[in-house]
Amino acid sequence: MTAKQFPAPVVAEWGSTDPSAPLVVLLHGRGSDEAAMGTLVPFLPPGPRYVAVGAPLSEGGGFAWFANRGIGRPIQESLTATMSWFRSWLDSITTPKQPVILVGFSGGSAFAGGLLLADPSRFTGAGLLYGTLPFDVGLPLTAGRLAGVPVFLVHGLHDTVIPPELQEWTWEYLVKYSGSPLWAEREPTGHELTERTIRALGWWVSERLNFITRLTDEHSGTSGTSDTAAYWPTLPDGTLPHRVGPAPEVSVTTPQQQETQNAPPELQEALFERIRRLRGVTIAPSEISVPGARALQLGPEDARGGQEAFIVPSVGEFAHLHPHFDGSMHIVLPPALAVDALRKGWAVAHPLAGLRLSEGMVLVYGPRDTAELDVVTGIVGASHAFATKIGHGLQDELRPL
């Protein structure tokens, strides 16, 4: 069946009646219908327009988003057709820049994940609840594909419906490689929505939409990925190399910490000695991080970047180095450089980037050897350049002692 052969969507609506309001699209599970998603709405924030859409394929007593070859495994041609049908409907009721958040449960989660992977720039974020991404259907699963697009992910520790390998692949890609500012939780439940999960989703939707509103009001920053070419003023030839090897394990909520492949303490101190000499920097305990984290701060005369260039704008904190048990750094980068660092394996987005914190806030992995020490020093130098609005000529400042 092609997109043109599907009937017009059946929808249920709640919330704002303003057609230009932020839109939250609710996507039900396999064998259910749009009415079932109405149970979420009382726990979600006021303000947006909520639309639950009914899937186009009949399935038992309900409906499905795609034909499959097993639970969580869509048939590519079917998924392609239903996504095209959905996008035609979405484009008919929204403007290209209107905020749209997808929220899917179970099969609706796989459908939302497919839409997100197919066109990340179209969506403001996605809540993926007790489901899987659609694998082996021709959708890109490249490093940094979802950079700049926050995702709220919940899996059930005792979920026996979604195959465990699909849950693990979904978790692994979203946590380590997608580039998304990801808030991820594993709940001690099965394959079911709980009040705790729905309330957490409501908090996340509220934070994301409040951030988008602030961006619009301040006329600063750009939501989503950046198409600007990445030039690193603090690295040789302006180019960031690829990091070698798999990504480290990193915690998925806050406090965000690097858990494996930690930098040796002597390299952490070598990094600190280099970056503390950056122009205008003073060292102080971090205003936001764990005890023992050392912050790089700028005074008012040097902090010429906008608020989006800082972790804690009120004190000029643009970066901090975590204690020895961790050794990673939190920094803020311009959007194009943040995306480049994510795609090349040097960083992972902060779970609250694009919610409460700057969209360019990332965790940069600690250096494992002297070659990586040079690269990480350059990455931090680029954050300093963003915060001070000094774009070039910084390599001399960053030379080893």
For the chain, which residues make up each domain, given as ranges? Answer: 3-218, 236-388
| Residue whose structure tokens are 């690829």 | 242
Q: How far apart are CA 134 and CA 74, in angstroms?
A: 7
Identify the pLDDT of residue 276: 97
Q: How far apart are CA 365 and CA 330, in angstroms?
A: 9
Dig out the tokens for 193 from the structure: 């929505």
Superfamily of domain 3-218: Alpha/Beta hydrolase fold, catalytic domain (3.40.50.1820)
CATH 3.90.1150.30 fits 236-388, yes or no: yes
Identify the pLDDT of residue 227: 59
Q: Report residue 276: phi and psi, to 5°.
A: -70, -20
Torsion angle in degrees (nearest 10) through CA of 211, 212, 217, 223: 110
Q: How far apart are CA 97 and CA 47, in angstroms?
A: 17
DSSP H/E element including 184: strand 182-187
C-beta separation of 134 from 144 below 8 A: no
Identify the pLDDT of residue 2: 58
C-beta separation of 147 from 179 below 8 A: yes
Torsion angle in degrees (nearest 10) through CA of 389, 390, 395, 396: -130
C-beta separation of 61 from 89 below 8 A: no
The conformation of residue 43, written as its DSSP 8-state character, comes to G
CA nearest to 339, candidates 328, 347, 329 = 347
Residue-level pLDDT, tens digit, the chain, 401 residues: 555 689 999 999 999 999 999 999 999 999 999 999 999 999 999 999 999 999 999 988 899 999 999 999 999 999 999 999 999 999 999 999 999 999 999 999 999 999 999 999 999 999 999 999 999 999 999 999 999 999 999 999 999 999 999 999 999 999 999 999 999 999 999 999 999 999 999 999 999 999 999 887 654 433 445 556 899 999 999 999 999 999 999 999 999 999 999 999 999 999 999 999 999 999 999 999 999 999 999 999 999 999 999 999 999 999 999 999 999 999 999 999 999 999 999 999 999 999 999 999 999 999 999 999 999 999 999 999 999 998 644 444 554 43
Dig out the tokens for 172 from the structure: 């692994």
The alpha carbon of 120 is separated from its chain's Cα centroid by a whole number of angstroms, namely 11
Residue 102 bridge partners (DSSP) = 25, 126
The conformation of residue 280, written as its DSSP 8-state character, comes to T
C-beta separation of 400 from 381 below 8 A: no
